[in-house]
Amino acid sequence: MGRGAPAVAAALLERALDEPPAVEGRGALLLELASARAAAGRPEAIATFERALADVNEPARRAEAWGGLSRLLYARGEFTAAVTAGARGRAELPEDNPLAERLLAVELTAAFSVPELAADAIERLDALVGAAPTEPSLLAMLCTHQAARVIEIEQVPELARRAVAADPLINPESHGIPLIYVAGALNLVGESVLAEQLIDRGLQRATELGDPLAEVNVRSVRAWCRIFRGRLTLASEDLDAMLAAGELGWRSIDALCAMPLIVLRLEQGDLDGARDALRRAPAGAQVGRAWFTGAVALAVGDAAAALTAFEAAGAELEGGLGVVNPGVLPWRSSAAIAAAQLGELEHARSLAAIGVQHARRAKGPRALGIALRASGLVNDSPQLLEQSVAVLEGSPARVELARSLTFLGIAQRRAGHSPPA
């Protein structure tokens, strides 16, 4: 399907509805129209799915409609309603129906953004560890689940390969959301080059389909990959394209774009731009938002506000979601720096030490390099800074390597040693 084809299909189906079909055919036509509008990124697809559900009686078609509605409610930031829609779709089907696993993935995707539902979603995914689900979108979720919670984390690259073995996980129904999970998991285990390769394939497919929501979702992860690898100009191009897509009216676009944009602006020294990006982030739409609030506060010199925000992020990530991989957000390392700036050295060193332990367990070189650097700074230890550099030299995390080299050079000059050439 070429670019613009979903919009053309929607226009043709709208004309068909202007010539009222037989009653028995109206539901099917509405469902086709809803799917075409969804593929074209048009928010009115939500109301069309709801109209279709009033006219469609066949369980599989109803399940399909509930699934489409759930995905779009998620994109609009209505997470509880998205969970309910996904669950109602599964209820239409027998448990052994292949579509049931796909709808479970849709339901769980939204559940992680609802604090009171997240614990149940975690338990369901815990039960799937080692069970080898066959549905690629569920495998994609399992990738991130295991990587974020550091459960059999060595399996993540293989799970990722299986998830994308038959398809780059881009289709008119999923809008690229499963690929976000796969690429995000690969970033957590230090495979950002492979993640970006998969994302490039996915973006090509999204462009072929003419699916603007998929393009936005895929670009969001590619921007992160590029930031991690120090390719800041290219990351900026992806984020600019996402900002331009904001005219579509989907709340998820601001949420997806704001977080990498904050980090990019901070890397560029643009504090006003970082503040503006933070204001764009809808409250409650992104897990870990408090960490980004802390990053901006630390950059402007408000260490007290930064420490409060970083520790709030930790409470959400670890206390609420069981996310212990510091590669998701290095809240302890960041909090250690803020605490040290406040003169709370004992607290800072404790945070940094635990951060290193968690990073070693997670086995991601970027996260470990960040944790060792923070520990080196709060303990005034050039040796730990040298370890940070050594870890990062073997990873694609070029920005973090440059940062650790800078701090190592400063520490060596203070100690009266010349930094290596």
Tokens 């694609």 belong to residue: 396
Integer Cα distance of 386 and 349 in angstroms: 18
Which alpha helices (H) appear in 92-155, and where do they start and end?
98-111, 115-128, 136-149
| Helix, strand, or coil (residue 282) | coil
pLDDT in tens, 20-68: 655 566 778 888 888 888 888 888 899 999 998 988 889 999 999 999 9
Does the pLDDT at position 1 exceed 50? no
Say which amino acid occupies 130. Answer: G
Burial of 274 (0-12, 13-18, 19+ CB in 10 A): buried
Integer Cα distance of 263 and 362 in angstroms: 22
- Inter-residue contact 199 to 187 (CB < 8 Å): no
Residue range 163-184: mean pLDDT, rounded:
84
Does the pLDDT at position 4 exceed 70? no
**Residue 18: what pLDDT?**
65
**Residue 175: what pLDDT?**
85
**Residue 268: what pLDDT?**
94
Does the pLDDT at position 417 exceed 70? no
pTM beyond 0.75: yes
**Residue 16: what pLDDT?**
63
pLDDT in tens, 297-349: 999 999 999 999 999 999 999 988 889 999 999 999 999 999 999 999 999 99
Would you kindly state where each structural domain of the chain is located, as residue ranges?
Answer: 133-282, 300-416
Q: Which residues contact 74 (CB under 8 A, 6 or more apart)?
A: 82, 106, 109, 110, 113, 177, 252
Which range (71-75, 323-327, 390-394) has the least confidence? 71-75
Which helix (H) or strand (E) segment is 287 a member of?
Answer: none
Does the pLDDT at position 103 exceed 50? yes
Integer Cα distance of 315 and 13 in angstroms: 49
Q: Which residues contact 91 (CB under 8 A, 6 or more apart)?
A: none
**Residue 190: what pLDDT?**
84
Burial of 330 (0-12, 13-18, 19+ CB in 10 A): buried
Tell me if the domain spanning 133-282 has CATH number 1.25.40.10: yes
| Helix, strand, or coil (residue 280) | helix
- Inter-residue contact 81 to 101 (CB < 8 Å): no
Quickly state the pLDDT bin for 230 (edges 50, 70, 90).
very high
Tell which wins on pLDDT, 236 or 36: 236
With the CA atoms of 163, 111, 130 and 321 taken in that order, what torsion angle do they form, in degrees rounded to the nearest 10? 120
Integer Cα distance of 387 and 408 in angstroms: 10
- Mean pLDDT of the residues in the chain: 89
Does the pLDDT at position 3 exceed 50? no
